[in-house]
Amino acid sequence: MKNLIRRKISIKLLLVFIISFTLSIIIGTIFATYTSVYYFSKNEYNLNATIFNFLVIMVFVVGIITFILVFYLMVRKKIKYIKYISEKVGEIAKGNIGYTIDVKGNDEIAELCNSINIMSLELKEKFDSERENERIKNDLIINVSHDLRTPLTSIIGYLEIIKDKKYKDEKSMEQYIKSAYNTSTKMKKLVNELFEYTKLYNPDFKLRKVDVDLSSLINQIVGEYIPIF
């Protein structure tokens, strides 16, 4: 795509150069012819070396001026548009992701603008998606931290009771140990869930599709709600 656009722009610049050069030759020739005729009519066809050199220089100067003027007039709008594009790309480079450029015309530069606009919008979409994922992960970490704090506090409390021997008897101690174990199991489950969730945002992670028995799944869900009723 880039090479195609570059090639088309190069061809158009070459055509502008050829047109400008051709017009400069034509106008220079016309100027030389008119000047020579005018000089000969005034000086009875006497042409010395000084005047001849002067005419050659004048034709050369007129040709250069004509070439520059024609070339500038033909590329002026494009140069102005390219400058405008450069300013807008600078805005995108500063971090204004999603910034778009007004597309003018239907040429190669317009195609380039369309490509820049697509790139800018895709970057914005990707940036917004990553920011949303980051927000979700932060919220998850906060929620999991809150969920872990309560059982962790309970475990520490049970262990302190056992360490300080504040239990009534061996049966109470076993109950505290059992409670600490059950609570730590819940914590392990929370940590595993957090680990599984973070794997979803790993670019190398791939979901594995499997067949599910819908009937068994429905029966399991219904069974979980039976005690409520």
pLDDT along the chain (229 residues), means of 10: 60 74 77 69 59 72 80 77 79 75 75 81 83 80 76 80 78 80 81 75 68 72 49
pLDDT at 228: 41
pLDDT at 44: 52
Q: Is the CATH number of domain 129-202 1.10.287.130?
A: yes
Burial class of residue 74, CB neighbours in 10 A (0-12, 13-18, 19+):
middle
Contact between 141 and 195 (Cβ < 8 Å): no
Q: How far apart are CA 146 and CA 152, in angstroms?
A: 10
- Per-residue H/E/C for 92-104: HHCCCCCCCCCCC
Tokens representing 227? Answer: 């005690």
User: How many helices and strands (H and E) does the chain possess?
Assistant: 5, 0
- Residue span(s) of the chain under CATH 1.10.287.130 come to 129-202
- Per-residue H/E/C for 194-211: HHHHHHCCCCCCCCCCCC
Q: Print burial letters for 151-170: b (CB count within 10 Å at least 16), e (below 16).
A: beebbeebeebbeeeebeee
Q: Tell me, what amino acid is at 200? A: L
